[in-house]
Structure 1
Amino acid sequence: MQATPELPSPDRIFQVLQDAASQDYVVAQAASAQLDVFRTIPGVFYMVQMAANERNLPLDVRKMAIFQFKNVVPQQWRRAALYPENVKQDIRSGMFRFLDEPDDIIAQTNAIAMAKIARIDFPRAWPDVGSQLLEVIGTNSQAIYINSNTDPRALLVLRRALGALNQIIKELTPAKIPLLASAVLGLVHQVQEALLPIYGYATATFSNNLSPETLASDDKLNHIRIAHFTFKCIVKCITFMWHRTRVKGFEVAEPVVKGFFGTAVTHFIALSTLRSSLFQANLSQNLIQSPTQSYLSRHVRLYGKYFRKTQVYSPQQFVRLPHCRELVLHYWERVVAASGAPPTTIQDSDNAMYPIRFLTQALSIFKDALAQWSPIRQPDNQEVLPREFVEGAIDLIVNRLLLLDEQDLEKWSEEPEEWINIEEGDSDAWEYGVRPCAERVLMTLATQYGDYVEPMIRTYLQRVREHPATDLPSIIKQEAVYCAVGRCAHRLKDIDFDSWISQSLAQEALDPNPIYRIIKRRIAWLFGRWYAERSLSQSREKVYEILVHLISAQGEGSDLAIRLTAATALENCINSVNFEIPVFHPFITPSLSALLQLVADTESQDAKRRVIRSINTLIDNVKEAIVPSLGDIIGPVTQLWQHPEVDIPLRGELISTASSLIKASKENSAPLAPIAAILIRDCLSPILSVQMEDDAINLWLVTLRNSVPNPNPTVPDIFELLPTSIHILNTNLDAVSGACQLIESYLLLDATRVLQLQALPLHQAYLQVYKTAITADVKTVLGTACMMVQLSVDGRLWAEAMHTSGFFAHILSAVIEDRTKNDNTLVLVEFDNIVDAPRRKLVALATAELLATGNKIAVERLATSEALNIWLDVLGELKEALEQRPGEDDQDSPLILYWKQQDEYVLPDKLEDAAETLEFGRRQDLFKRDPVRNIPLKEFIQQKMQQAQAVAGVEFQAALSKVDSATIASIQKQLS
């Protein structure tokens, strides 16, 4: 037994921690290795915790100690050998000694470690962790707010205890295990009851006499911090209850949640109004940037996070909570005030009068409330928002919130690719910008209050059409109107889009004047949106022409933002349900030329990926019409692939391009196979394989499934990679399924060539998987081997390799072993475990074929009735018949099987991607040639028994005479 390492001295531990904090890389690395050794020694990290709490040590050493403690101890906490119960008790107690820690980083790290340990120990081993912290909080809060104690230590301890409690609640509240969730419910009840009075005291003390003169005082800062941390704890508790108000056993939480929400709305409106009044008092820059003002801004935003989480969980219940109407309208009032304020007051900063994150919270809450407050959801006589309010909101959004500001135009000009990526980014990005949020509010208004929105949008549009924009301000307003039209396209049924295109949009899009660039980008976007929502029949050719022009146009009248937007719009048009290849056919070549040039002109990887995605959509939709352009596409794609700075996401899109080209060209894809082989090899290289192996296999499968047999094997093709697929099967147990799909596709393409080139390595790979893989993978490999046998026209191609590799012997080893235990086993072990009807029939066919050889052992075993019983079972299960047609020979009539309808063929789920490929036809042919499908079992058994009798003669009759008469009678009845 290995001896336990000796516990190092405190001085030794201090020295290692000091070295670990060193700026010398060599020293720090050596110390890190020593700390890894310390992890295995019981008691060391209790001493590390003590070092972190030793105030006389250098601060960097103490920080290193607490970091090590936090990273190591929670991970090993369940290991009793390292942390016996007495040590755990000491560590738990030691964490409370950090509650008066002056350094924020050390205190926060200790709180995180405490929470992680509480997550493991609560409620069984550490049931009073919450009570202990609440006792500290209660004692110090009473000293501060009841006894008016101004001791700085009491404020510090209260703040640290609240921080630790916040971390613990954060760690515990996601609990889903019923026992733990029930214990957490008791804790959160206890916490919110204890903290609500403290929050009231802290908020009142902070708000009382708050003015520009008192804003920078330490006293105000201390109390807003306490209020902030207290509220964070309470909010987590209330949110936990809110998510469980409908769960059995948690109903008691509902009145608590509703009561708190109403109180929170009142506090929030007061604090939000207080903050606005401070800014209206013309605060100095120093006061605006003061910690107290920053905490107040964060605190107001924390309310917004709570309200938003509450709303997202249940929008229907949210609008029924107390004072919800006042809350939503207050948020809207803040938005209205911000829309009329100078642009400099709206920034992504807590020091701004209107922080962007506050405004996006306001718009998001307003948007989801609108979805509940509408004539659609309310009775006719209970409309929540009157028409005047809705029309005012629409006017505000279109004429103020949707306008591009100076920052937008500046970013557009300086970094058009980056700006467009943000502007047209992921669907969730709208929650982080005022203008995108406002667009979603407008869409919700159009859906819920369409009767109010439609006439207003039509009026705005008519106005800009009658008075064309001539300067930048009017162009920005026109752009906002076009944006509104696009966002509300799903409701604007009466707009004649075809005439709008011919009368004004086409001229504006083709105008070379640089001032119209803003309008051009929005027109391209509008085409994409309108195609996604509406059907255009008369103007499709004109739209394609305009978009191709915008993609290819360069010079002062265009820029990359316009071209990228047009590329995305063309993608949306092509991907619409009304897309028709004949209509788009004249634009295939110019579209591809423009898009490929745009790929070359863009610099960022994201922009290139956006354009490549548009090319892929075009290829997927025009299908075989892309064949004449194969050479034009594959050259730039391979050139871009070979660029060393191309990132993984862009390479993934390029792989999709190659896949799309091969799928579309099918039997014409032979010239693409060598290119695909290059891409696949690169993806499987050590540099890319971790991230792109799946992409490589998918492209590989697409190439194989859409290939035709190569009449000239000297010409390079996808068979270059056959050894690689076998190597993957042989060495990568995680990729057995994918490797078997590849090998099956190779076999279906040209089984003879596969076996001529790689018969022995293939069977060696089969054997390796059979020996080492899980049962499911072994079954997959056996299925592939069965397909190989079925496809091979010459059994000699696989027979020798199957024998030489040991694969066949290994398959039989289980049968041979069972034969020593049970002399009644012939070919199959536990035949009754086979539930698949075709496989049971296959075993019956094989048994009859084996008997027909006249082999002495096979004939002798006939006496055991094993073969007869298999035949009886299968004959009784199957309902086969030859379809009788007048004037036709029975032998030429198709066989009807009860488990398959005639000509029916369904691919396994994992092969659904092969449904529209050339391989699908090959699989159909194989299926139709399957002996199980074509051979009538009854006639086959009769024929093989006659052959056996002819070959074996006396031995056959002798074996048959040993079978009991009942079995003989049954088999005769079935075969008659």
Structure 2
Amino acid sequence: MDLNIDSLVTVLTVAAGKERGANQKASENQLKQWETVSGYHFLLQSVYLNVEYPLQIRWLAVICLKNGVEKYWRSTRVNAISKEEKFEIKRHFFNLLDESNDQLAIQNAHALARVCRFDFPAEWPTLFEEIAGLLESNSRNIVKLHNLLLMTNQILKTLASIRIGRARAAMQNKVTVVVPHLVQLYKGFFNHWTSDGSFNTAVMEVGYLCLKNLRRAIVDGYEYPHRDAVVVEFFQLSLQHFQKLLLLHESSQLPLLERYLKAYVKLYTNLVNDNVVAFVMMPDSYQIFMTMLSLLESKASEIYNSEENEFWEQLAIKMVSNLKKLTAFGYKKGAVMLKQRNDQSEVRGAAEMVATQFFNLQLVEHLVDLLITWYMKLRASDLESWSIEPEEWVNEQLQVSWEYQIRPCAENYFQDLVSYFKPQLSGFILRKIESVLSDDSADILTKDSVLAVFQLSANAISESCNFDQLFRNFFLPEALKDVPLENKLVKRRICLIASEWIPIQGSKETRLEMYQLIIQFLKESPINDRVVKLTAVQTLQHLIDDWEFRKYQFQPFLTETVAGLLGLLKGLEFTESKIFVLKVLSVLIERTNPLVSEQELLQIMTMIPAMWDESNNANEMIVKNSLMRVLRDLTIALNSNSNKTYPIVLPLIELCCTPGSDLYALLCEDGLELWGAVLKHLPTTVAVPDQIINLFPLTVSALSNWTEILPTVLQLVRSYAMLDFKLYETEKGLEILKILGGYLTSMRDDSIYLTSSLIETLVLQNQDSAQVVENITESGLFAEMVQYLTRESQTPNCEIKMSLPLLRLVHKNPVQFLGLLTRVTDTNLATKLNSLIESLINLLKLVYDSKIRKLFVLALFSFYDPAIFKEYLPKDQNSDLDYQIQNMSPESAVSLVLSTNFSNILFLATHLLEEVNENEQGDCEAYHKPSSYEDDDLTLIEQDQDETNEYALEYKLPPSAEKLRYNELIFKLDPVHRINTKGLIKYKMDSLSGIKGYQGLLASVDGETLEQLQMMINK
């Protein structure tokens, strides 16, 4: 179908029809095809601008235009709109300012804003001048002005959001053209609707749009708004109008009037957040500050007692946020300011003004008193929610952000105040607490508010009071009283106080008493409702996650605590509550490992199947993640008895980690962690179950699909190498090695370490079969490892780590290694060998770990075998080594490379012998110290820990089965612990004495090195 205005209208008519069918689908496809046809978007605009067409057609036309601008306006896009068509579209955007349909006008404004995002300033430099002219020429037409202000607002909003490029800076240069017109219009319309008391909605709406545009223009359009006379005049006017409308609002709560008040507060809030110096330097900033403070005081009772009308509460949150920002600015002396770093004198002046004028001591004390009296108190609605839906109420308290509810907002700001004004407020707060708690007539909500003050003031007043004494003499007796309503509030608050205070000042005895109190709160009782129990769990989480937590101190309370948590879990209804308690249970198992008894761990495990089945509906499916984590920690804690979890965990691992299963996307990551824990703690006393071996093929999909958690997957595949290296002789093993070869150059450091450790494990275990080495080569991994080491060094630590498996291959069979190197090199073997040896020598110079140094020396000396090193060939000083190699036989070229590097290798070997004192078997104390030789998971087990010292054992865990296997592997097969370095060097030197040119080889070595080596060998 040809594109013209008539055909477009016809297609739009069908596409906009209410009944869907084949014709409508065909019309939609036709519109899609026309998107790339020249002139289409201009015709869409023409349809929208023609008011004679039906509303539905015009609506669809403007929507298509807006979407087309997004897709095809940039000149770099395929099928981009031509320059000529763009010009015509921009020329007609303002043609229909008298549009009567607000929704159509808004869509047109969105389309215009998107064009401005792309074209301003380069392709539309006169944009703001055009807007200013239109504002002036249409100032008496309310409809046109309304639509024009809608468009201007969208333009300012869009340009302000741009952070990179010229648009935002250009807007700041041009906005001064528009702002005077906006101010004049705003004043005229405001005076109009306020002077006659008519509350003309149309006039009010246009005035509001002027205010909305000014709010954006002032905050985002000026770098220094306080230096512009027009802005300063408007800012002063805004305060007068704000105060005037506050009085009007007392008698008339019109929604539009409330939108005005919100706009003023939002103006002040945005300016404080974006440019606090500009706000403070405005002439009436102090009056605005005091107006906000006065409102917070005068409306406190209304906000506290009436929750149906959110207007004042939302305004109060904004105003408290402003005070918070100003307080921080004054206290930190402007240090938080970056935007005006070149105007330090102005910043210092503003900070001084805030610190001395805004926040004097009397005002700060009054502000604290206001927060305590009204804004930090629980409301009647809180008690009602507590009673009706206790779990939901606790979840809200745990999850709510302070920016959205007034009580958390007030508590957050209170903490700032007591932190910033600690010397001035500590005495005031202590007196306030003492006066209220000693007043028998004070109601429980007031007491709770004061206890909240004590809770939140921990950092400020901890030096002025003795919490241990207070806990024993006041809080503990209060917690044990049997007064239902009051006791519930007190119990909850004591838990919250303990969370804050004990990590700061609590003694060991206080911690123990609190552990016991938590157990009491978790017991079934009419007073211990779910709010009390869940808050006790919250405190438990804080205490066991604390740096000062000692698991041996907690051991006497473990059994009852676990029982309390399991009992609580059975009665919970909400998903969030279950997840929270399961998380704490998981942390408890982890932090107290290995003190939770096997019986208790198995008791926890028995409740998991039922909870798993209960969480099958979509809303509770996420509980399964928490259950998987509990199973992981259970498996780790059971350690040598972890096989008792297999009936539950092995089917779950298969279910969660099999691609295509219903739970794969949600639970595979947790499944991989659980799988890794099972492998790591698989008892050494039992045979590897077939079910675990049968899971091995799933590691291929895990490596391919879960690269964002690659270290987790690599730990898992390494565990399989530790359990049964022959798995890597199979096709699946080869596939894994191929994937690793493809990833190697882009791996992070932690993944490099794990890959190196995996290949080392395979090489160490593979004493007889050549298939694993063959698979490492065939997969391309060997070639990638060689390439990784011979490239220009980028991350020496990673290259040192990656060199270890290659060094083991060299030491194991240097002849075989040269054969492998021949297969993967696209250059002369000797050239590649020289490049590799030079890289290894350079890396060895950076190694300070004795074990790694020895492995380097053992491997490098392995090349000096008569089967490889046939004769000494000196390097020709007058020609390039590569050139010499090219003109030799392969055997001679290899001998030349080894001859050239012999002196450096012997020199580095002497350094190793200087720093170690090996026994006859080649082992020494230095090789048993934890070091970079092993990663964190496989650190060699130390044998000399003080088993009687409780604190020495505090952070020690029993070795996992994988560590035991690793220890056995290292001490049984690792040449570092089994070959005497002196003896090896002596043997190698004796073996080389029979090669042709031996004396020349010795002559190539520095005499001092030879002398020192001889002395060490004979020592």
1:271 and 2:233 equivalent? no
Partners of 1:578 and 1:584 in 2: CA distance: 12
Deviation of 1:479 (Å): 1.3
The 8 Å contact of residues 858 and 981 in structure 2, kept in 1 or not, is answered as no
Relative to 1, partners in 2 of residues 1:334 and 1:809: Cα closer, same or farther, differing over 3 Å? closer
Q: List per-residue Cα deviations over 1:237-290 (Å, max 9, x = no partner).
A: 13xx2xxxxxxxxxxx47637x6775565234223212221122x22xxxx235
Deviation of 1:815 (Å): 5.3
Deviation of 1:579 (Å): 2.6
Matched with 2:261 is 297
The 8 Å contact of residues 718 and 754 in structure 2, kept in 1 or not, is answered as no
1:485 and 2:454 equivalent? yes
The 8 Å contact of residues 399 and 477 in structure 1, kept in 2 or not, is answered as yes
Aligned-partner residue type, residue 403 of structure 1: K
Partners of 2:212 and 2:706 in 1: CA distance: 53
Deviation of 1:873 (Å): 4.2
Q: List per-residue Cα deviations over 1:400-429 (Å, max 9, x = no partner).
A: 222222332333333322222222325xx1
Deviation of 1:762 (Å): 0.2
The 8 Å contact of residues 765 and 969 in structure 2, kept in 1 or not, is answered as no
Matched with 2:891 is 860
The 8 Å contact of residues 875 and 938 in structure 1, kept in 2 or not, is answered as no
5+ long unaligned stretches in structure 1: 1-5, 242-252, 951-956
The 8 Å contact of residues 155 and 222 in structure 1, kept in 2 or not, is answered as yes
Partners of 1:33 and 1:936 in 2: CA distance: 80
1:552 and 2:527 equivalent? no
Partners of 2:414 and 2:739 in 1: CA distance: 62
Matched with 2:145 is 155
Partners of 1:613 and 1:796 in 2: CA distance: 46
The 8 Å contact of residues 930 and 940 in structure 2, kept in 1 or not, is answered as no
Matched with 1:610 is 580
Partners of 2:327 and 2:743 in 1: CA distance: 60
1:969 and 2:1003 equivalent? yes
Q: Identify the match of residue 491 of structure 2 among 506, 513, 520.
A: 520
1:393-432 alignment, distance < 5 Å: 393-426=367-400, 429-432=401-404
Q: Identify the match of residue 195 of structure 1 among 161, 179, 184.
A: 179
Aligned-partner residue type, residue 547 of structure 2: V
Matched with 1:231 is 215
* Residue aligned with 2:460, SS: coil
The 8 Å contact of residues 399 and 480 in structure 1, kept in 2 or not, is answered as yes
Q: Identify the match of residue 366 of structure 1 among 323, 326, 335.
A: 323
Relative to 1, partners in 2 of residues 1:586 and 1:799: Cα closer, same or farther, differing over 3 Å? closer
Moved more, 202-211 or 557-566: 202-211
1:635 and 2:609 equivalent? no
Partners of 1:468 and 1:14 in 2: CA distance: 80
Partners of 1:25 and 1:790 in 2: CA distance: 66
Matched with 1:90 is 88
Partners of 2:577 and 2:364 in 1: CA distance: 38
Q: List per-residue Cα deviations over 1:4-53 (Å, max 9, x = no partner).
A: xx754545544554455455465566655555444454544443343344
Partners of 1:492 and 1:771 in 2: CA distance: 59
Q: CA RMSD in A?
A: 4.4
Moved more, 568-577 or 814-823: 814-823
Aligned-partner residue type, residue 760 of structure 1: E
1:699 and 2:692 equivalent? no
Moved more, 374-383 or 790-799: 374-383
Q: List per-residue Cα deviations over 1:368-427 (Å, max 9, x = no partner).
A: 33345569997999586444333332332222222222332333333322222222325x
Aligned-partner residue type, residue 898 of structure 2: A
Partners of 1:523 and 1:913 in 2: CA distance: 45
The 8 Å contact of residues 374 and 385 in structure 1, kept in 2 or not, is answered as no
Q: What is the number of residues matched between the two proteins?
A: 905
TM-score (norm 2): 0.78
1:508-907 alignment, distance < 5 Å: 508-516=478-486, 517-555=488-526, 557-628=527-598, 629-642=600-613, 643-645=615-617, 647=620, 649-672=622-645, 675-685=648-658, 686=660, 687-709=662-684, 711-714=686-689, 718-729=692-703, 738-748=712-722, 750=723, 753-755=724-726, 759-767=730-738, 769-770=740-741, 776=747, 783=756, 786-796=759-769, 798-799=771-772, 802=775, 816=822, 822=828, 824-825=830-831, 827=833, 831-833=837-839, 835-837=842-844, 841=857, 844-848=860-864, 851=867, 860-861=891-892, 865-877=896-908, 879-882=910-913, 892=922, 894=924, 904-905=931-932
Matched with 1:442 is 414
Aligned-partner residue type, residue 783 of structure 1: S
Matched with 1:330 is 291
The 8 Å contact of residues 553 and 563 in structure 1, kept in 2 or not, is answered as no
5+ long unaligned stretches in structure 2: 334-350, 785-817, 845-851, 872-887, 942-955, 1015-1019
* Residue aligned with 2:864, SS: helix
Relative to 1, partners in 2 of residues 1:158 and 1:799: Cα closer, same or farther, differing over 3 Å? closer
Matched with 1:245 is none
Partners of 1:478 and 1:380 in 2: CA distance: 33
Partners of 1:925 and 1:67 in 2: CA distance: 71
Deviation of 1:499 (Å): 4.5
The 8 Å contact of residues 457 and 481 in structure 1, kept in 2 or not, is answered as no
Partners of 1:275 and 1:206 in 2: CA distance: 11
* Residue aligned with 1:430, SS: coil
The 8 Å contact of residues 446 and 453 in structure 1, kept in 2 or not, is answered as yes
The 8 Å contact of residues 308 and 361 in structure 1, kept in 2 or not, is answered as no
Q: List per-residue Cα deviations over 1:786-829 (Å, max 9, x = no partner).
A: 32433315331734863996669988999558867546446576
The 8 Å contact of residues 830 and 890 in structure 2, kept in 1 or not, is answered as no
TM-score (norm 1): 0.81
1:391 and 2:365 equivalent? yes
Relative to 1, partners in 2 of residues 1:625 and 1:36: Cα closer, same or farther, differing over 3 Å? farther
Q: List per-residue Cα deviations over 1:699-738 (Å, max 9, x = no partner).
A: 333443344435223475x545322113434677777654
Partners of 1:731 and 1:400 in 2: CA distance: 54
Partners of 1:840 and 1:32 in 2: CA distance: 70
Partners of 2:736 and 2:410 in 1: CA distance: 60
Relative to 1, partners in 2 of residues 1:124 and 1:222: Cα closer, same or farther, differing over 3 Å? closer
Matched with 2:121 is 123
Aligned-partner residue type, residue 673 of structure 2: N
Partners of 2:456 and 2:663 in 1: CA distance: 41
Relative to 1, partners in 2 of residues 1:401 and 1:87: Cα closer, same or farther, differing over 3 Å? same
Q: List per-residue Cα deviations over 1:759-795 (Å, max 9, x = no partner).
A: 3320233235536875649978973663243331533
Relative to 1, partners in 2 of residues 1:664 and 1:100: Cα closer, same or farther, differing over 3 Å? farther
Aligned-partner residue type, residue 790 of structure 1: V
Relative to 1, partners in 2 of residues 1:278 and 1:817: Cα closer, same or farther, differing over 3 Å? same
Q: List per-residue Cα deviations over 1:308-353 (Å, max 9, x = no partner).
A: 4236xx6x8865665433332221111010124475666554xx4x
Relative to 1, partners in 2 of residues 1:775 and 1:549: Cα closer, same or farther, differing over 3 Å? closer
Partners of 1:85 and 1:383 in 2: CA distance: 57
Matched with 1:135 is 133
Partners of 1:506 and 1:130 in 2: CA distance: 68
Aligned-partner residue type, residue 696 of structure 1: G
Aligned-partner residue type, residue 123 of structure 1: P
Moved more, 610-619 or 636-645: 636-645
Partners of 2:544 and 2:666 in 1: CA distance: 30
Deviation of 1:624 (Å): 0.9
Partners of 2:10 and 2:745 in 1: CA distance: 50
* Residue aligned with 2:286, SS: helix
Aligned-partner residue type, residue 561 of structure 2: S
Partners of 2:496 and 2:826 in 1: CA distance: 76
Matched with 2:65 is 69
Relative to 1, partners in 2 of residues 1:107 and 1:233: Cα closer, same or farther, differing over 3 Å? farther
The 8 Å contact of residues 225 and 295 in structure 1, kept in 2 or not, is answered as no
Relative to 1, partners in 2 of residues 1:847 and 1:261: Cα closer, same or farther, differing over 3 Å? farther
The 8 Å contact of residues 815 and 829 in structure 1, kept in 2 or not, is answered as no
Matched with 2:884 is none
Partners of 2:940 and 2:300 in 1: CA distance: 52
The 8 Å contact of residues 826 and 866 in structure 1, kept in 2 or not, is answered as no
Matched with 2:168 is 184
